[in-house]
Structure 1
Amino acid sequence: MDKKLNRQDNQQSKMAIKSKNEMTVLEKRMTYLVINQLNNSSGFESNEIRSLNFTLAFNQLKESNYERIRNSVSNLPSRTLTLISYDNKENFKQIIPFPLAKVTGTTIEITLAKNVLPHFVKLKNNFTKHELSAALSLNSIYSQKMYEFLNHWKNKQELLVSLGELQKLFNAENYRPCDFIINCVEKAVKEVNLKTNLHVVVTIKKECRSISAIQFQITSKAIQKQVDVKQALPSEIAPEKQISTKKNISLFDKLTPVEVFHYINRISSTYKFTEQQKEKIMNSNILFNRFVKLDKQITGGKIKKLLNPTAYMSGFLFLPD
């Protein structure tokens, strides 16, 4: 296997995301690097699944302590991965992803078990992507798990997770609720916000003074930066001028098509646009700017007493220029 990182986005199957494991930060980094190589390979048809060998370089691990690396490699074959069941049944499945691992000079040789491949790779659909460089930069196992989890659900934008479910996913069921929030959730989200492409806001939900759930608001930093800039613009400036400023346009231009799509979906949730109408807005600078301007006027209270906001918005958006 080629040990060069020639793929920016790492991908893991949803089943692996739903699992918990006993790995340390370094062992998790090795897993990321193996998965990255696996995704760069070809010919993984279902009838060709087999055990695979991988070679990693020490400098890929972002760790300078040689003994720490050796200890992590030594412990890797003993680590198990437990697939979590959410159907309240007592059955569960434990697997050993890497039965063999050894150090040769300044490289690491790892064998991925045959029966683990279905859990690490899906050949058709349902991949969850995360930037490998960001994942490797995280210094806490909880930050790593948090990044995988939130990036998996980022298109949902808002997610409510019960305390027990999150503790189970993080393999932190022995923590008291308050300690779990402080040491596992808040610290992890802080590092994720600092080092990755996500912007996350956490709200703690309580029932009868006890923590019951955690709500996550998830956006990409590109979209959040655009929102922050819009909110920071002086309110005296007319919406048309706000939209036409070079600074604002340049930030809009930085959004990828996927981010533009989710940005429009989030703002347009108040309106019942057809998919064709959304596509027209997404592909036209004129319609996009007009849409943002009108939405700000409506949500800001400048345009009041609308019986049908969708009809009002559509009438202005799709008039001839």
Structure 2
Amino acid sequence: MELDVKSKQKALLFHKRPTNYQPNVFTESKQEFTELEKNIVTLVINQIGHMSLKGEIKPNVNLVFHIPFAELTKKNHSVIADAALTLQSKRLIYRNDKTEQLDAITPFPRVKFDTLDGKKIIEVTMFADVVPHFSELGKRYTKYECDIMLSLSSVYAKRMFDIVSMYQCRGQFQFNYQVEHLMEMLNCPEGYTFNDFRRNALLVAQRQLLEKANIVLEWMPAKKIGKNIVELDFIIKTQLQIASEGVKQDQQTVNNMSINEAYTTAWQLMKGYKLKGFQKDRILSDHSLLDTFFRIDSELANGVRQNVKNPTAYLVKSLGIDQLKDPKPKTKSEAKTAPSTLSLFPQGPTLRSGSVKSIGAIFGDMIMNE
């Protein structure tokens, strides 16, 4: 197929955006790319996705992209050059099992090297009839952070990041695949056993997604034929979701405590902050503040609240006691009679052992009495 120079459209000067957008049909295709080839494709998608969002793609026009070597590596340009040359022969394969249709395309028929403004670039040409496979986003599409994709060193991790991102964009955190179909999408070698797939693809992807993207990916057998696992269920959890689950579990624990247990636990937790005595008194004397104290402490401990430089200052401000003044007694006689939670419980607060009412029940009573 000859390249019609007149139909060629130059892409705008390369400008890497933080977010990539790609069609879901591309995400679920079989891709034959290596790690470095996938990085080049990622940068092409970085450009074409934003062109599509802005309506800058003209129909029936070939596209040309300029990818700087510097975006792929700071050294060893020969490795990038080799990857760019092999990219020219790699295919995308779309299979529809219901209609038994198969479509295999070579998206980048022309790849050459050039120098632009004194910098080495890869010039990648995409024919017009291939452009929709990369640009037609539709109502649902895959969105992910470009730098995270580039940071992943395994092509299997990159492809699983593609797939996980697609489901996250849908608001789905559980999904299912037949093992054979998933292995085909990830372009696993022929003859791969499930153990090969698990060791070289799933475990590697799981580790890298956690390290680079803060995504926890879990899986479990969904279907077996004899001893063979033929279908997998996947669960996606972000670090924030895990942290939020930890807060919920802590809250359930607090709700099931007796008053005595709650006060004693709070007393121990307060040792982790630089609170003043009258501030501790105030928290322990107000059930609503005590509940808020438990929640904020749990959020800090589980990592829901990040980048908090001064936990004590953050805590007292969140509790609304940052402006609270020390109610110091005016006379010595007043000091002897002034009640204090700290003076009542010098070793930590203790209440009557017969009290078994939970904190959750106390709050329920407070709401009922309002």
**TM-score normalised according to structure 2 size:** 0.62
1:10-29 matched pairs, under 5 angstroms: 10-29=20-39
Pair 210,57 (structure 1): closer, same or farther in 2 beyond 3 Å: same
Partner of 1:163: 179
Q: Output the amino acid matched with 1:150.
A: V
Partner of 1:198: 215
Pair 63,232 (structure 1): closer, same or farther in 2 beyond 3 Å: farther
Which of 222, 236, 248 is the matching residue for 2:299? 248
- Aligned residue for 2:123, secondary structure, equals strand
Question: Do the aligned partners of 1:2 and 1:37 also contact (CA within 8 Å) in 2?
Answer: no
Q: Output the amino acid matched with 1:12.
A: Q
User: Partners in 2 of 1:113 and 1:107 — Cα distance?
Assistant: 19
Pair 168,51 (structure 1): closer, same or farther in 2 beyond 3 Å: same
Partner of 1:52: 63
Q: Output the amino acid matched with 2:230.
A: S
The answer to whether 1:84 aligns with 2:135 is no
User: Partners in 2 of 1:152 and 1:25 — Cα distance?
Assistant: 20
1:145-294 matched pairs, under 5 angstroms: 145-154=159-168, 155-172=171-188, 173-205=190-222, 207=224, 208-228=226-246, 230-231=248-249, 235=254, 237=262, 240-241=291-292, 244-245=295-296, 248=299
Partner of 1:276: none
- Aligned residue for 1:2, secondary structure, equals coil
* Identity value in percent: 25
Question: Do the aligned partners of 1:189 and 1:200 also contact (CA within 8 Å) in 2?
Answer: yes
Pair 67,216 (structure 1): closer, same or farther in 2 beyond 3 Å: same
Pair 229,23 (structure 1): closer, same or farther in 2 beyond 3 Å: same
Question: Do the aligned partners of 1:14 and 1:127 also contact (CA within 8 Å) in 2?
Answer: yes
Q: Output the amino acid matched with 2:196.
A: D
The Cα shift of 1:205 comes to 4.2
1:23-172 matched pairs, under 5 angstroms: 23-41=33-51, 42-44=54-56, 48-62=59-73, 64-87=75-98, 89=100, 91-105=101-115, 106-154=120-168, 155-172=171-188
User: Partners in 2 of 1:217 and 1:247 — Cα distance?
Assistant: 24
Runs of 4+ in 1 over 6 A off after TM superposition: 318-321
Question: Do the aligned partners of 1:135 and 1:144 also contact (CA within 8 Å) in 2?
Answer: yes
User: Partners in 2 of 1:194 and 1:115 — Cα distance?
Assistant: 38
User: Partners in 1 of 2:138 and 2:14 — Cα distance?
Assistant: 24
User: Partners in 1 of 2:145 and 2:207 — Cα distance?
Assistant: 17
Partner of 2:14: 3
**TM-score normalised according to structure 1 size:** 0.71
Question: Do the aligned partners of 2:31 and 2:92 also contact (CA within 8 Å) in 1?
Answer: yes
User: Partners in 2 of 1:115 and 1:243 — Cα distance?
Assistant: 59
Q: Which runs of 5+ in 1 are unaligned?
A: 255-300, 304-314
Q: Output the amino acid matched with 2:237.
A: T
Q: Output the amino acid matched with 1:126.
A: R
User: Partners in 1 of 2:31 and 2:89 — Cα distance?
Assistant: 11
Q: Which has the larger radius of gyration?
A: 2
Question: For residues 88-115 of structure 1, what are the alpha-carbon distances to aligned partners after superposition, in whole Å with 9 as ceiling and x for unaligned?
Answer: 61x3111111111112242111112211
Q: Which runs of 5+ in 2 are unaligned?
A: 1-11, 263-286, 307-357
Question: Do the aligned partners of 2:173 and 2:235 also contact (CA within 8 Å) in 1?
Answer: yes
